Structure 1
């Protein structure tokens, strides 16, 4: 009897373990990916940061595809993706990080040197931040997305269908559908390589959906617009960081926070403060003003908050 009981207990345990690998709520790693693939939803892989940099040099110099530039803060390399000739002293070229994930994102001015000497080229700088790269989904993020898909059925061209169909266009990253009523629909999108959607991509999304949907609708496709924030804080900076390092870390973390929560219409004051407190460069935070106020941040769905300026004062 004892051996039978042990065998039954072992079989029960094996059954539970096997069952856990097949349920979205409990599966992990490759088992969770199998569950997601069964639903037609693959895990989101890390993407590569990309954007424009300004290169200055001698007129007539050819900037070659494959040249490398460097982020002086993270030492991440970026590769120039196009050939271009310098005219009027400088020009802009597209670059892509050689390392995937958020580590390739950067603030203004952090890409500021060449990997090696290139004849005729004197300087490089990114005049806009790179913020579009993402890390590979972890299990909890993937699980949440799968459960959201299951709990919000895509039927009869509801808002979830509009969002899915917008992402069929390969350049589209994020999409938010806002049904207005009486056949009017507003769709807000971002591009994978940049937060601001181009007119071409917006037109492609509108044409694709309009040609596919059977009913008559008035579809308006919009891109996000930047909403600049000026911060003033009183804080003690960790002794391992200087003022510039602290500002860079806070700006980077806040910009990522706002991008990850794009389409939110309210950001709680204490959540923003918590992002700052979680920065390694900050030991203590006693005061925070956002655009000269101490209140929640309320914006429209089509706004992407981005830090314009930050002032740090010491705690008395």
Structure 2
């Protein structure tokens, strides 16, 4: 905005305003007297440019973005959450686990949320919580499988289901999207935008689709995905239902469900550049595909065959590819209105 307001430009303008009868060449008293002023004025313009940039919400990030969004809309950044799950513990009858005892996976530990003892059946179900916030607690089935500190009478531990409800703090991108959704869409009197905003206000919700009149007059269906753009668990579905039930207009009947998964298998054959390892290429491809999946989930109604091919071709170390298939077909995958794409497997072979 003020890029042209440099020290030299300001100094020259000042010199031009001084009568030519006065010597103003470099080294004179006049020249030396205006130099500090030029420097300070140039810095003032730099500061003005910085301040002006803060007037544009798109240029803000972190705490500054949080403050501006909250001031204008009341929307607050969703905090990180600690993943919770149920584990099955086997051992001797009447052996106990206490609140605060630890069970572990290879990447992170989980803490028992309750005091419990093994019954006659020889095992017990225990609710546990990840010791760290964020997606680090999202571990696959069977990953929680040992006791970091031995507990007398307990022999084994296992999580029968994958853990999916650990969420990182809401990103600047997501917060900004909710901000614009609030200021650009008229959410009034329980219309579609109102229900969508309500759903997204619940911690753990990544996106929502609203289906009005889905089961007759006065009915509204809210389909959600979690913050990781995955299938929402029953606990999150119930949280959304309870929240909206308290704020919805009188007379509306709401139904909240999770999106259904559309599993996607990706297979292809690639030519690697010299010096590149398949594991590195495969991991980077998985990372980029997952980023694409999250970006388009609940926004596009298909997984693009061309987009996946473009991602693969642009992975560093890939010279070429052939026989790219999505679910064994060389075509895009169409998604139903209530479906969310889930990358089930990614397999790359070398030509």
Report the Cα distance in structure 1 between the residues aligned to 2:118 and 2:316, rounded to whole angstroms: 41
Report the Cα distance in structure 2 between the residues aligned to 1:92 and 1:282, rounded to whole angstroms: 47
Which residues in structure 2 correspond to 1:235-246 (within 5 Å)? 239=277, 241=279
Q: Give CA deviations for 1:122-157 in whole Å, capped at 9, x if unaligned.
A: 222222222232322343443333233222232232
Which residues in structure 2 correspond to 1:225-244 (within 5 Å)? 225-234=260-269, 239=277, 241=279
Number of residue pairs aligned between Structure 1 and Structure 2? 307
* Cα distance change on mapping 1:271 and 1:121 into 2, 3 Å: farther
Check the 8 A contact 1:169/1:204 in 2, yes or no: no
Report the Cα distance in structure 2 between the residues aligned to 1:48 and 1:227, rounded to whole angstroms: 26
Which residues in structure 2 correspond to 1:1-316 (within 5 Å)? 1-2=14-15, 3=34, 9-39=42-72, 40-72=74-106, 75-87=107-119, 88-166=121-199, 174-180=207-213, 183-189=218-224, 195-198=232-235, 200-201=238-239, 204-205=242-243, 207-209=245-247, 212-214=248-250, 216-234=251-269, 239=277, 241=279, 258=293, 262-264=297-299, 265-272=301-308, 286-307=322-343, 310=345, 312=347, 314-316=349-351
Check the 8 A contact 2:207/2:298 in 1, yes or no: no
Aligned-partner SS, 2:163: coil
* Cα distance change on mapping 1:269 and 1:37 into 2, 3 Å: same
* Cα distance change on mapping 1:121 and 1:307 into 2, 3 Å: farther
Question: What RMSD, in angstroms, separates the aligned Cα atoms of the two structures?
Answer: 4.0
Structure 1 residue 225, shift from structure 2 partner: 3.3
Check the 8 A contact 1:197/1:224 in 2, yes or no: no
Which structure has more relative contact order (CA 8 Å, sep 6+)? It is: 1
Report the Cα distance in structure 2 between the residues aligned to 1:20 and 1:79, rounded to whole angstroms: 45
Report the Cα distance in structure 2 between the residues aligned to 1:24 and 1:5, rounded to whole angstroms: 31
Check the 8 A contact 2:210/2:223 in 1, yes or no: yes
TM-score under structure 1 normalisation? 0.76
Q: Which has the higher helix share?
A: 2
* Cα distance change on mapping 1:30 and 1:9 into 2, 3 Å: same
Moved more, 263-272 or 41-50: 263-272
Aligned-partner SS, 2:234: coil
* Cα distance change on mapping 1:280 and 1:11 into 2, 3 Å: closer
Q: Give CA deviations for 1:240-270 in whole Å, capped at 9, x if unaligned.
A: 959xxx79x9889867865675434322234
Structure 2: which 5+ residue stretches go unaligned?
Answer: 1-13, 16-33
Structure 1 residue 168, shift from structure 2 partner: 6.0
Q: Give CA deviations for 1:269-294 in whole Å, capped at 9, x if unaligned.
A: 34456777899999986544333223
Check the 8 A contact 1:189/1:197 in 2, yes or no: no
Structure 1: which 5+ residue stretches go unaligned?
Answer: none
Structure 1 residue 98, shift from structure 2 partner: 1.3
Structure 1 residue 174, shift from structure 2 partner: 4.6
